[in-house]
Structure 1
Amino acid sequence: MTHEPDRLSDATVLRLPTYLRALAELEARGVTSVSSEELAVRSGVNSAKLRKDLSHLGSYGVRGVGYDVRVLADEVSKVLGLAQVRPVVIVGMGHLGHALADFGGFATKGFDVVACFDRDPDIVGRRIGGLDVHSMAELPQVLARVAPRGDAIAVIATPAASAQGAADDLVLAGVRSVLNFAPVHLAVPQGTDVRKVDLSTELQLLAFHAMHRDALPGGASSAGSDLSTSEVPS
């Protein structure tokens, strides 16, 4: 891995976190090297696709040995922008926001929840997940303190009716990366990246698969892997 990564396709980038998770699990078990076949199985992709993805990073493995788990994990982390800890702020401290703030797994993945926000005066001032909940009016000042490099990732966990307003406030405060849990499309300016987590859509897709699986003898799925949300198209 001696050269800069090639320009990666969106599909390859979407698979990299899956590879990183599999590598972390192997490292936790004390495994120091892994074949492309085993890593592919653990990642839920075919080995040819995995080898092609990793070749874009400059990693080809060693014949008969495979990939160095630690080295490959470091390289994937670097490509994903996880070489340094990324600050995360949560907007909307209802049940979902509360659960996200309490979740302790972010720190081991390269993220640090540094601030929480809400508009409800009954919630502002509470302590959730070890953090004081700030009002949205404090957003610019708090961001300047907890994410002075301007690299904060915002998680919107508000009701749908409040999500666009939260996004507008975040953009005005300089946030350019948003993870949206609200079931609504957000209008943001060019240069702002939004990823949407739509739980209702995922449930609908699972219902679709269940309906077609249950309709076939033996419970086999008629949809097959082509429609599976766990597999990213190449």
Structure 2
Amino acid sequence: MKTTDVSRAALGRIPVYLRFLESLPQDTETVSATVIAKELGFGEVQVRKDLGAICGSGKPRIGYTVSDLKKCLGGLIDSRNGKAVIVGAGKLGRALLDYGGFSDYGLDILAAFDTEVPPNGESEKPILPLDGLADFCKKNNVSIGVIAVPAEAAQEVCDKLCQSGIKAVMSFAPCRLTAPEGVAVQYENMALSLAHLKAQIKQ
């Protein structure tokens, strides 16, 4: 099973399933989708669909072997190189750099890069000069680049990331980017997401 074969919503629930499985008593050998759904407050159909798509169907009247399920779910998250860097060490870039939740999804943010390096101690992880980006990415086998710079600088940063061997780009800049064939680009717009959420508020 490849991560690209799993829906974004299902992928987002994998760490929740894993935390639940880790919380079970050590002598628990099997668990059913019914129990998982009840304990997590999910719909049973949704749990069966998620686990079925990722790990196959459980055994009738038995469910899933806990050890096998943990191995399957954990293996999906860890199956790809999740090393990443951030370009742009402003407030957004530093917040992303220090966020610990990425590791739940097999991602490891190694460092941030900027044209102006702030004083040491502003972040737990290194913030490095932008001119060292290519060497760092190649040396550390980085596959993902996060763009956290203004729109006018985003394309130049995207070009630098692609030249550094990056295979996937996530951009928070409010503009469209051009990347070479084979480089995946995903756009994140928090303002748009909030506007969409606001539109769902019942008057």
Q: TM-score, normalised on structure 1?
A: 0.71
Paired-residue identity, %: 27
Contact 1:125–1:132 (CA under 8 A) maintained in structure 2: no
Q: For residues 176-208 of structure 1, give each alpha carbon's deviation from its aligned partner in whole angstroms, at most 9, with x where no partner exists.
A: 111222222222122111222210111111121
Q: Helix, strand or coil: the match of 1:185?
A: coil
Bigger helix share: 2
The 1:77/1:15 distance shift into structure 2, 3 A limit, reads farther
Q: Of the candidates 13, 23, 48, which is equivalent to residue 17 of structure 2?
A: 23
Q: Of the candidates 118, 127, 146, which is equivalent to residue 114 of structure 2?
A: 118
2:75 corresponds to: 78
Q: For residues 101-159 of structure 1, give each alpha carbon's deviation from its aligned partner in whole angstroms, at most 9, with x where no partner exists.
A: 1222333442222221012x3x2664543333222221111112222xxx421111112
- Taking the TM superposition and a 5 Å limit, the aligned residue runs for 1:1-234 are 5=1, 12-30=6-24, 32=28, 33-39=30-36, 42=40, 46-48=43-45, 50-80=47-77, 82-83=78-79, 86-119=82-115, 121=116, 123=117, 126-147=120-141, 151-210=142-201, 213-214=202-203
The 1:115/1:58 distance shift into structure 2, 3 A limit, reads closer
Kindly provide the amino acid, as one letter, of the partner of residue 19 in structure 2: E
Aligned length: 199
Aligned equivalents of 2:129 and 2:3: distance in 1? 39
Q: Helix, strand or coil: the match of 1:189?
A: coil
Alpha-carbon deviation of 1:169? 0.7
Aligned equivalents of 1:178 and 1:152: distance in 2? 9
Aligned equivalents of 2:168 and 2:52: distance in 1? 28
Alpha-carbon deviation of 1:40? 5.0
Q: Helix, strand or coil: the match of 2:195?
A: helix
Aligned equivalents of 1:30 and 1:184: distance in 2? 46
Q: Helix, strand or coil: the match of 1:141?
A: helix
Structure 1: 5+ residue stretches without partners: 215-234
Alpha-carbon deviation of 1:43? 7.8
Q: Helix, strand or coil: the match of 2:83?
A: strand
Contact 1:180–1:195 (CA under 8 A) maintained in structure 2: yes
Aligned equivalents of 1:84 and 1:177: distance in 2? 12
Alpha-carbon deviation of 1:9? 7.3
Kindly provide the amino acid, as one letter, of the partner of residue 27 in structure 1: L
Contact 1:18–1:43 (CA under 8 A) maintained in structure 2: no
RMSD: 2.8
Alpha-carbon deviation of 1:209? 0.8
